[in-house]
Amino acid sequence: MLTIKNLHASINGKEILKGLNLEVKAGEVHAIMGPNGAGKSTLASVLAGKEDYEITEGSVTFDGKDLLDLETEDRAREGLFLAFQYPVEIPGVSNVNFLRTAINEIREYRGEEAISAKDFMALVREKSALVELDSKLATRSVNEGFSGGEKKRNEIFQMAMLEPKLAILDETDSGLDIDALRIVANGVNKLKSPKNATVVITHYQRLLDYIVPDVVHVLYDGKIVKSGPKELALELEEKGYDWIKSEVEAG
């Protein structure tokens, strides 16, 4: 579904991604772990199409399409979703209002009919229940005045509304208490299907007790330096990233 080959990306002349490779197939859950500043969020932003980054080398194909060639909105319309590490607050723009615009523009892109107001509201009710997001929050301004946990739940709510093929969750678990974590993980697990895939970027092994990955990758200094089964996460937690560092430096 997603194939990243030798991806190099820089910002303000500083190279952050330095030849990253990753292959994600439908039905899979991948975890990307790595120390602060390794480039995890950069990878997520580059995939979502943030224009601040310059891609200097490499390719990304998503469902057979050249992802890097698409506008941000078209990437979303093709089925890519990014749950942001730091979701922005957008005063005055209601969650459901913009989601209806999003869904209808996505449908138009795919040559489908617009969603009826009734079906849309039913969808809002169903999906907000899934992530236990207070329906009042669903209608409020995007993330405005939300607690950290509410913002993360709102990301998963939006993901549930949009039903992406590939979801990238950037540290959706950080800052969540165990209840919120369970709710978020539950939401993700319920949306899992053989047709879609999830990439969870995380700092902590804890999340992976709830969202069980097929593969764990270690991103370090702009590259995936190690991949392995879910047990790798435990090993990382135990030994810390210094272990990876010395392994990488040893070559």
Partner 1 sequence: MSTLLSVNKLETFRSHLNKTKIGFSNGILENAESFLNQTDFPTTKVEDWKYTRLNKISGIQPSNDTTLDTDVILDYDLGKETFKFIFQNGVLCSSSDANLPEGLTILPLEDCTQEQLASIPYQDNNELFVALNTFYCSSGLYIEVKKNTVVNKTIHIHHIVSGENMVNHVKHFINCGTSSNCNIILTFISGEAKNCMSNVLTNVVVGENAKLNIDKLQLENDGNYGVFNELTEIYANANFTLNTITLGGTLIRNNVHAEIKGQNVECNLNGAYLLKGSAHVDNHTLIEHQVPNCNSNELYKGVMDDKSTGVFNGKVIVHKDAQKTNAFQSNANVLLSKDATINTKPELEIYADDVKCSHGSTTGQLDENAIFYLRARGVSEASARQLLVQAFIEDVLEKIEDENVVNCIHNELSERLGWSFN
CA 103/CA 218 separation, integer angstroms: 34
Amino acid at 184: V
- Vertex 95 angle, CA 77 and 188, to 5°: 65
Cα–Cα distances (Å) from 75 to 19, 104, 136, in that order, read: 22, 15, 29
Measured from the CB atom, is 70 or 248 closer to partner 1? 70
Say whether residue 41 binds Mg ion (CB under 5 A).
yes
Measured from the CB atom, is 93 or 121 closer to partner 1? 93
Least separation in angstroms between CB 225 and Mg ion: 17
Measured from the CB atom, is 157 or 220 closer to partner 1? 157
Using CB under 5 A, which residues numbered 63 to 122 contact Mg ion? Answer: 85
Say whether residue 196 binds ligand ADP (CB under 6 A).
no
Say whether residue 76 binds partner 1 (CB under 8 A).
yes
Residue 141 touches which member of ligand ADP, Mg ion, partner 1, none, C-beta under 5-8 Å by kind: partner 1
- Considering only the stretches 38-46, 75-83, 134-142, 206-214, report the one whose residues sit in contact with Mg ion under the rule CB under 5 A: 38-46
Using CB under 8 A, which residues numbered 86 to 105 contact partner 1? Answer: 87-88, 90-93, 97-105
Cα-trace Rg, the chain? 18
Residue 11 touches which member of ligand ADP, Mg ion, partner 1, none, C-beta under 5-8 Å by kind: ligand ADP
Residue 90 touches which member of ligand ADP, Mg ion, partner 1, none, C-beta under 5-8 Å by kind: partner 1
Count of CB atoms within 10 A of residue 51's CB?
8
Say whether residue 36 binds ligand ADP (CB under 6 A).
yes
Number of residues that bind Mg ion (CB under 5 A): 3
Measured from the CB atom, is 68 or 130 closer to ligand ADP? 68
Interacting residues with partner 1 (CB under 8 A): 48-50, 71-73, 75-77, 81-82, 84, 87-88, 90-93, 97-106, 109, 141-142, 158, 162
Residue ranges that bind Mg ion, judged by CB under 5 A: 40-41, 85
